[in-house]
Amino acid sequence: MVPNYAFYPHSRAATNSTSSTSTATACIPERLLRNNKRPLESAASPLSLPLSEKKPVVPRAAATTVSAAMKADESTPLLSPNDELSKGPPAAGFARALSTGSSRHAKPSRLPQAIAHRGYKVAFPENTMAAFRSAVEIGAHAIESDLHLSKEGVVVLSHDPTLKRCFGIDAKVADYDWDYLSTLRTLRKPNLPMPRLIDLLEYLAQPQQEHVWLLLDVKRDDDASELLTRLAETIASVPARIPWNTRIILGCWNANYVRLSKKLLPEFPLAFIGWSLAYATALSHVPNMNFNLLLHSLTGPFGARFLRHARKINRLVFGWTVNEERWMEWSIQHELDGVITDDPKLFLEVCDRWRKDPDGAAAAMGSKTTLPCRVRQFAEAVVMFIILNTLIITLRTVSAFKRGSPTTQVRRGLAGQDQGFQGPVY
């Protein structure tokens, strides 16, 4: 299955082809183009950037509820007009939801893009080249993957910081160099090796794959500045006809990573990854900041409010991880920009039904479950909403006493006062 370019707002086929190795390196700051003592996984102009470390400042204790935090965050300016970050990362129009190409139906007028979570995960071991290739072959619009560093600084694709779950080795990825990691094979059959980021980029740089974009999850287990510097090096080492900054979105888990990404890879679009709507709302003051959120955090009234806010300021919203048809349908109905799923083929089939006949597809989806089943599904959604929000409120209250409100945390992170903080935000 080949993606139908008629439903792309900006077809890759129409992109101007002015490229060479300089196209890739143009996305990297000049001050990074200097010699580096560590080896890179392929020949390139290595980069380095020493960053001074600052001690984190202990925040004033403050507790907040979800609604109060979001209300305060929406009205509190976090960036001064002269702040370098006030310029924001570039926009990511290539990742926007696709038009249905029909004006017969008022809703949905757009369909979310299919983002293959760690590749075609239901069919192949996650984060392997076979999973990535298969996702492209079935028509996924994008690939999502996770970044870690090997012992000598090679950027590898692994969700976990350890090798236990996927490879059966009770050790950290960072404990071994690439020569050893390349010999490992997944426990899940077919037994496949761990790839490097450069392997995926070289595959996506081929003309047949130029329509596919990449959503990278910058994990928090390695030193942030080193991981982002190695990421910049790796991207610069792979020539591409279409500039990588129009095909890659960097996913950041907190404001400190947003700050460093903006500093080290300023030409690349960014997305906040998480489940805290209050923190996401506080970050929305960063121009062009997009959002990659746990789907169930979007399904309640606070989620509806956040989606309205995101649309109003023209930001992208992706949802993860969406594997059930009913939540795929929900994502379509609420016009998310992207659905991150282990089964992109199933999601594309659901989208195809909606694209051909939104009204008929909605009726068919509603009629294929009995009333008791629909009641049960509704009850499950309510219970999930209550559990999730109770957990978030509890964690946020504890976090507020330790580190301040979401607004305070974002302000500190963007100001570089939280360089030592690697954890999630609530």
**Alpha-carbon gap, residue 130 to 25, rounded angstroms:** 28
Q: Which residues of 324-335 are buried (b: 16+ CB within 10 A; e: fewer)?
A: eeebbbbbbebb
* pLDDT in the model for residue 317: 99
Tokens of 92: 């990511």
Segment 290-342, tens digit of pLDDT: 999 999 999 988 999 999 999 999 999 999 999 999 999 999 999 999 999 99
pLDDT tens figures, 126-185: 999 999 999 999 999 999 999 999 999 999 999 999 999 999 999 999 999 999 999 999
Q: How many domains does the chain have?
A: 1
Q: Residues 6 or more apart from 21 whose CB is under 8 A from it?
A: 239
Spatial contact of 292 and 252, defined as CB atoms under 8 Å apart: no
Encoding tokens for residue 56?
A: 């984190």
Mean pLDDT rounded to a whole number for the chain: 81
CATH number, domain of 378, equals: 3.20.20.190
- Cα atoms found within 13 Å of the Cα of residue 349, Cβ hemisphere only: 10
Q: Is residue 248, in this structure, part of any structural domain at all? A: yes
Q: In this prediction, what percent of the chain has a pLDDT beyond 90?
A: 61
The pLDDT tens digits for 391-419 are: 767 766 776 666 788 899 999 999 998 76
Domain-embedded: residue 387: yes
| Per-residue model confidence (pLDDT) at position 206 | 98
pLDDT at 107: 61
More confident residue, 380 or 265: 265
Report the alpha-carbon distance of residue 96 to residue 141 in Å, rounded.
11
266 pLDDT above the threshold of 60: yes
Torsion on CA atoms 344, 280, 224, 236, rounded to nearest 10: 50
In sequence order, the 6+-apart residues with CB closer than 8 A to the CB of 81 are: none
Q: Residue 356 has what pLDDT?
A: 84
Residue 376 pLDDT level (bands cut at 50, 70, 90): confident
**Buried (b) or exposed (e) across 373-403, using 16+ Cβ within 10 A?**
eeeeeeeebeeebeebbeebbeebeebbeeb
Q: pLDDT band at residue 424, thresholds of 50, 70 and 90?
A: low
Tokens of 388: 């999730």
Which range among 98-107, 175-184, 208-217, 245-254 shows the weakest confidence by mean pLDDT?
98-107
2 found inside a domain:
no
Give the dihedral sign, CA 284/402/259/150: negative
Element (H, E) at 270: strand 270-274
263 in a structural domain? yes
Q: How confident is the model at residue 71 (pLDDT cuts 50, 70, 90)?
A: very low
Cβ atoms of 291 and 315 closer than 8 Å: yes
Alpha carbon distances (Å) from 344 to 129, 183, 371, 421: 16, 29, 28, 34
Host domain of residue 127: 21-47+68-414
Determine, yes or no, domain membership for 273: yes
Q: How confident is the model at residue 86 (pLDDT cuts 50, 70, 90)?
A: low
Residue 89, by phi and psi: left (phi above 0), alpha (psi -120 to 50) or beta? beta
pLDDT band at 62 (very low <50, low <70, confident <90, very high): very low
Report pLDDT for 355: 86
Q: Name which residue leads in pLDDT, 257 or 390.
A: 257
Task: Tell me the three state secondary structure of residue 161.
Answer: coil
Query: Is residue 422 assigned to a domain?
Result: no
For residue 3, being part of any structural domain is answered with: no
For residue 420, is it within any domain? no
User: Which pLDDT value is given to residue 15?
Assistant: 42
* φ/ψ (deg, to 5) at 390: -65, -45
Q: Pick the more confident residue, 168 or 45.
A: 168
